Structure 1
Amino acid sequence: MEETRSFTDIKEISTETLAVLASLGFQQATPVQEATIPLFCGHKDVAVDACTGSGKTLAFVIPITEKLRRLEEPLKRHQVGAMIVSPTRELARQIYTVLQPFAASIPGITTMLLTGGSDPQADVAAFQEKGGHILVGTPGRLSDIFERSKVLDPKHLEVLVLDEADRLLDAGYGKHLESLMRKLPKQRRTGLFSATQTEAVQALARAGLRNQIRVNVAVEPVASSSGREPGQGQGQPAAGTAGSPGKRKAAMQDQRTPSGLQASYLVCQSDEKLAQLLHFLKEHREEKIIVYFLTCAAVDFYALAIPIAAAKGGLQTSALHGKMKQSQREATLAAFAAKPGGVLLCTDVAARGLDIPDVAWIVQFDPPQDPDVFVHRVGRTARMGRTGHALTLLLPHETAYVDFLRIRKVPLIEQQAWEGLPDPLPKIKQAAEQDRNIMEKGTRAFVSYVRGYREHQCNFIFRAQELDLGRLATAFALLKLPGMPELAHQRTLPSFTPSSVDTNTIKFKDKAREKERQKRLAARALTPKAPPAKAVRVVEPQKEKRLPAAKRRQIEARQDADDFAAEYRMLKKVKRGKMSEDDFFEEALGLHQDIEEDGNGAPADTKSHHFKGKLKEKGRGSAKGRGMGNKARLRR
Structure 2
Amino acid sequence: SLQLNGKLVENLKTLFSASRMTLIQRGAVPAILRGADVMMKAKTGTGKTLAYLTPVVEWLVTRKERLTRADGSFALIVVPTRELGLQVHEVLSNLLRPFHWLVPGLLIGGEKKKSEKARIRKGLSVLVGTPGRLSDHVRTTECFNVKSMQFLIFDEADRLMDMGFEQDINCICDFVREKRDKSCPTRMQTVLVSATLQQKVRQFAHSLLSSPVYVTDSSSGAMMTETGEEGKEEEAGEGEDEENKKFELPSRLRQYWMSIPCKRRLLSLCSFLRQRSIPSTRACKMIVFVSSIAEVKFLHYLLPRAVLPDDIPIYGLHGDMTQAERTKSFYGFTASSRAILVCTDVAARGLDFPKIEWIVQFDPPTELEEYVHRCGRTARMTTEGDALLFLMPHEEKYVSLLGKHGLSLSPIPTRTLLVSEERRRRGGEGGGGGGREGEVWMLQSNPDPPAELARDAFTSFTRAYATHNKGTKAIFHPKALHLGHVAASFALRE
TM-score of the superposed pair, with normalisation by structure 2: 0.84
Separation in 1 of the partners of 2:444 and 2:456?
Answer: 16
Residue 188 of structure 1 pairs with residue 188 of structure 2: yes
Shift of 1:262: 0.9
Once the two structures are superposed, what CA deviation does each residue of 1:31-71 show, in whole Å capped at 9, x if it has no partner? 11111100011122111111111111110101111233344
Deviation at 1:97, TM superposition (A): 1.1
- State the Cα distance separating 1:108 from its structure 2 match: 3.4
Alignment of 1:336 with 2:333, yes or no, is yes
Q: Distance in 1 between matches of 2:262 and 2:345?
A: 20
* Correspondence 1:68 to 2:65: no
CA distance in 1, matches of 2:125, 2:91: 16
Mapping of residues 138-177 of structure 1, within 5 Å: 138-177=130-169
1:425 pairs with one of 438, 448, 454: 438
Aligned to 1:485: none
SS at match of 2:12: helix
Amino acid at match of 1:200: K
Answering whether residue 122 of structure 2 is matched by residue 110 of structure 1, we say: no
From 468, 479, 485, the counterpart of 1:471: 485
What SS class does the counterpart of residue 274 from structure 2 fall into?
A: helix
**Helix, strand or coil: the match of 1:404?**
helix
Residue 368 of structure 1 aligns with an amino acid whose one-letter code is P
Cα distance between partner residues in 2 of 1:108 and 1:161: 22
Equivalent residues, number: 451
AA aligned to 2:466 is: R
Cα distance, 1:367 vs. partner?
Answer: 1.3
Task: Report the residue type matching 2:381 in the other structure.
Answer: M
- Structure 2 counterpart of 1:42: 34
1:416 is aligned to: 413
1:294-443 matches, cutoff 5 A: 294-310=291-307, 316-418=313-415, 419-420=418-419, 422=422, 425-426=438-439, 428=441, 438-443=450-455
**Deviation of 1:348 (Å):** 1.4
Root mean square deviation, CA, Å: 2.9
- Residue 126 of structure 1: aligned partner: 119
Paired residues of 2:253 and 2:379 also in contact (CA < 8 A): yes
Query: SS state of the match for residue 372, structure 1?
Result: helix
Q: One-letter code of the match for 2:454?
A: G
Distance between the aligned counterparts of 2:222 and 2:50, measured in 1? 22
Change in CA separation of 1:324 and 1:242 when aligned onto 2, cut-off 3 Å: closer
**Inter-CA distance 295–400: structure 2 relative to 1 (3 Å threshold):** same
- Indicate the residue corresponding to 2:93 in structure 1: 100
Distance between the aligned counterparts of 1:335 and 1:138, measured in 2? 22
Among candidates 2, 7, 10, match of residue 19 of structure 1: 10
Q: Which residue of 2 aligns with 1:625?
A: none
**Distance across 1 between alignment mates of 2:394 and 2:371:** 18
C-alpha change, 1:40 and 1:407, in structure 2 (3 Å) is: farther
Shift of 1:328: 2.1
Match of 1:601 in 2: none
Following superposition, the deviation at residue 424 of structure 1 comes to 5.7
Q: Which moved more, 1:101-110 or 1:114-123?
A: 101-110
Matches within 5 A, 1:201-216: 201-216=201-216
Distance in 2, Cα, partners of 1:188 & 1:404: 44
Q: 202-211 or 409-418: which moved more?
A: 409-418
Matches of 2:144 and 2:378 in 1, distance apart?
A: 39
Bigger relative contact order, structure 1 or 2 (CA pairs below 8 A, ≥6 apart): 2
* Among candidates 59, 74, 87, match of residue 81 of structure 1: 74
The percentage of counterpart residues that share the same residue type is 33
CA contact (8 A) 1:215 1:247 kept: no
* Structure 2 residues without counterparts, runs of 5 or longer: 179-186, 238-245, 423-435
Contact 2:257 2:389 in 1 (8 A): yes
One-letter code aligned to 2:301: L
**CA distance in 1 between partners of 2:459 and 2:352 (Å):** 32
Q: Distance in 1 between matches of 2:444 and 2:114?
A: 46
- The structure-2 alpha-carbon separation of the partners of 1:384 and 1:246, relative to structure 1 and needing over 3 Å to count, comes to farther
Given the alignment of the two structures, is residue 53 of structure 1 paired with residue 45 of structure 2, yes or no? yes
Say whether residues 1:449 and 2:461 are aligned partners.
yes
* More deviation, 448-457/184-193: 184-193
**Whole-angstrom CA distance in 2 between matches of 1:434 and 1:280:** 22
Q: Give the counterpart letter for 2:116 in structure 1.
A: D
Shift of 1:408: 3.1
* TM-aligned CA deviation for residue 245 of structure 1: 6.0
Q: Tell me how far apart the structure 2 counterparts of residues 432 and 177 of structure 1 sit (CA, whole Å).
A: 53
Query: Within 2, Cα distance between the matches of 1:301 and 1:405?
Result: 29
Displacement of 1:438 after TM fit? Answer: 1.8
AA paired with 1:372? E
**Structure 1: 5+ residue runs without aligned partners?**
1-8, 220-237, 480-495, 497-636
Confirm or deny: 8 A CA contact 1:45 1:213 kept in the other structure. Answer: yes
Greater shift, 437-446 or 181-190, is seen at: 181-190
8 Å CA contact 1:21–1:27 kept in 2: the answer is yes
SS in 2 for 1:214: strand
